[in-house]
Amino acid sequence: MTRIKAQGRNPRSTSDSQQERDPIMGKGVIQDLIRSLKGSATLDAARLSRAAAELRPLFPGMPEPETGGPDPMHQLLHMIDVCLPGWTIQLTGKASEPDGHWRCSLRETRGSDEVEIIGQGSGRVVELALLEAFLHVGELKAPN
């Protein structure tokens, strides 16, 4: 009996193995993460890292959060800048209020009036509102 070794494209290419390591989660995982933000007072490095890990399969170019690096707000803005280039960030709230009521929207605009995707969030601090809006964009992109 003769054995023939198959040659050609490896069925487990780099992109296939990347998907095995970072499977695309469903909307439910993102919704759970959004619910966990409600009532939080701050965005800590651990929560930002978890959000980045859950969203990375949807946004493969997302930078890894740095432990002990810049504060989470700067890292979150950098993630959004890399993952959603050209998008508009709109923040509303009163900076004079402690534990304020911030709202954020992320918009992808194509032309003057055409809005493709909108992510909206709210929180006691700006970074929580921004993260929730980013998670909602991920939720729209995620499979069921």
User: Across-strand partners of 106?
Assistant: 89, 119
CA 106 from centroid of its chain's CA atoms: 12
Q: Which domain holds residue 36?
A: 23-141
CB 102 within 8 A of CB 114: no
- Note whether residue 7 is domain-resident: no
- Note whether residue 45 is domain-resident: yes
- What's the CATH code of the domain at 124? 3.30.160
pLDDT score at 51: 95
Q: What is the pLDDT of residues 99-126, one digit of tens each?
A: 778 999 999 877 666 667 789 999 989 9
- Note whether residue 18 is domain-resident: no
- Note whether residue 123 is domain-resident: yes
User: Where is average pLDDT lowest: 5-14, 86-95, 125-134?
Assistant: 5-14
Q: What is the pLDDT of residues 43-55, one digit of tens each?
A: 988 999 999 999 9
State the chain's maximal CA–CA distance in angstroms. Answer: 82
